[in-house]
Amino acid sequence: MSSHTQQHTALFSDTEPTRVPGLDEAAKIAIQDSLKVRSGEKVLIVTNPDPDVSVISRALYDATAAMGAKPVLIYQSVKTQMDFADDLVIAAFQGEPDVFISMSAEKLGKDRQGIVKPYELDGHRWDHIFHYQLYGSRTCRACWSPSVRLESFVRTVPIDYTLLKRRCAQIRDVLTDAVEVRVRAPGGTDIRIGLRGRTARSDDGDFSTPGRGGNLPAGETFISPENGTANGTIAFDASISLHDGDILIAEPIVCTVKDGFITGIAGGTEAAALRDTVLLAERNALDYEKTGKLPAGSGSLYAGNARNIGELGIGLNSHASISGNMLEDEKAFHTCHFAVGHNYDEDAPALIHLDGLVRSPTITAIMGDGREVEIEREGELSSTLP
């Protein structure tokens, strides 16, 4: 055991689990196969003193060091959907890491400076220095695993990435070419979403080049809806992420959507919890503007987008299952998910991004010439995908 591992074992000896079988192999796959870390590269790992993410981060640190790279491991307190990252964590990005890994019990945390004064490049703006370095200047590549659990990481990271990449690419190309998509499901979902001008993305585990990043476990294709075009009903019936964590859904949360925004939330206790989180995001956006945490004049924009439909994603990891942990749940076969709040095209900013699952969807893409391409039928991938 290396000296740094001995120090961290002593620090967390009362709470942190020991290395479990398969962890070192999963960490090696993440570093060597997914991120393709090379000798001499600077690798920044940010985590929390939470038992699961801490032991995973140490395994990733060791796998990185074994490649001859230069890992730096930083701990900060656990951050939720609406918390800010510690200033020292944001400052670490000034060192321009080649690779960034966020292994968090909840979230990385927002960039206080970036929200007030966004980073700009070629007419685009980013409110987090990490997003700027990944998608803007493209000086880094990355993976992030919010709320990851140790058992899940070991089980879902070692998969057939060649097969996953092919499936992700097939669906990505269809969604990118489509002008609209319709999603229906037995639980009551029936919604149409515009896609003109949007480009789908693949979380296929290949984070080997600058500008590439995604989750580990990987396994989804996703797209930001064209703003203002989503109309219909979403019935979340598996799990959903909220301000204070992820929950399994016992009674479906039925959301009425008009012109891109949720206008009604019906159901039981889970629906009430979603309403509370949305209302909190609306209130905080206005309060943040008053206290200078958001730019003047932007509070109402962030508050309004707390009800925005910001993502449609399709789960494609064959090892993933639904357990109430959204990082894994949204990758599960036979599901799709919608996000409430912030989108990935950075033109609908919000303080929240709440993923919610729909079981057994039938997903049909409508092309510009009116042709329909079925992506899934009742949760099963179509055999006729291009």
* Confidence band of 385 (pLDDT split at 50, 70, 90): confident
The DSSP call for residue 107 is B
If phi > 0 it is left, if psi is from -120 to 50 it is alpha, else beta; for residue 188 that is left
Instruction: Write the pLDDT tens digit of every residue in 257-311.
Output: 999 999 999 999 999 999 999 999 999 999 999 999 999 999 999 999 999 999 9
Question: Does a cis peptide bond (omega within 30 degrees of 0) precede residue 51?
Answer: no
CA distances from 191 to 38, 231, 238, 302 (A): 45, 6, 17, 24
Domain spans of the chain, in order of start: 3-151, 159-381
Instruction: Write the pLDDT tens digit of every residue in 335-376.
Output: 999 999 999 998 999 999 999 999 999 999 999 999 999 999
Instruction: Write the pLDDT tens digit of every residue in 135-164.
Output: 999 999 999 999 999 999 999 999 999 999
Report the pLDDT value the prediction gives residue 3, as an integer from 0 to 100. Answer: 35
Any idea which fold 3-151 has? Rossmann fold (3.40.50)
Instruction: Write the pLDDT tens digit of every residue in 7-45.
Output: 333 344 455 566 789 999 999 999 999 999 999 999 999
Mean of the per-residue pLDDT values of the chain: 94
Instruction: Write the pLDDT tens digit of every residue in 56-92.
Output: 999 999 999 999 999 999 999 999 988 999 999 999 9
Contact predicate 362/185, CB 8 Å:
yes
Say how many C-beta atoms besides its own lie within 10 A of residue 145's C-beta: 27
Report the pLDDT value the prediction gives residue 8, as an integer from 0 to 100. Answer: 39
Report the pLDDT value the prediction gives residue 19, as an integer from 0 to 100. Answer: 72
Q: pTM of the prediction?
A: 0.86
Task: Look at the block and give the residue holding tokens 């707390």.
Answer: 306
Q: What is the DSSP string of 12-27?
A: TTTTPPPPPTTHHHHH
Report the pLDDT value the prediction gives residue 333, as an integer from 0 to 100. Answer: 95
Q: Using alpha carbons only, what angle is made at residue 91 by residues 86 and 95, rounded to the nearest 5 degrees?
A: 145
For the chain, how many helices (H) and strands (E)? Answer: 11, 22
Separation CA 236–CA 222 (nearest Å): 17
Report the pLDDT value the prediction gives residue 17, as an integer from 0 to 100. Answer: 61
Instruction: Write the pLDDT tens digit of every residue in 102-137.
Output: 999 999 999 999 999 999 999 999 999 999 999 999
**Average pLDDT over every residue of 247-260:** 98
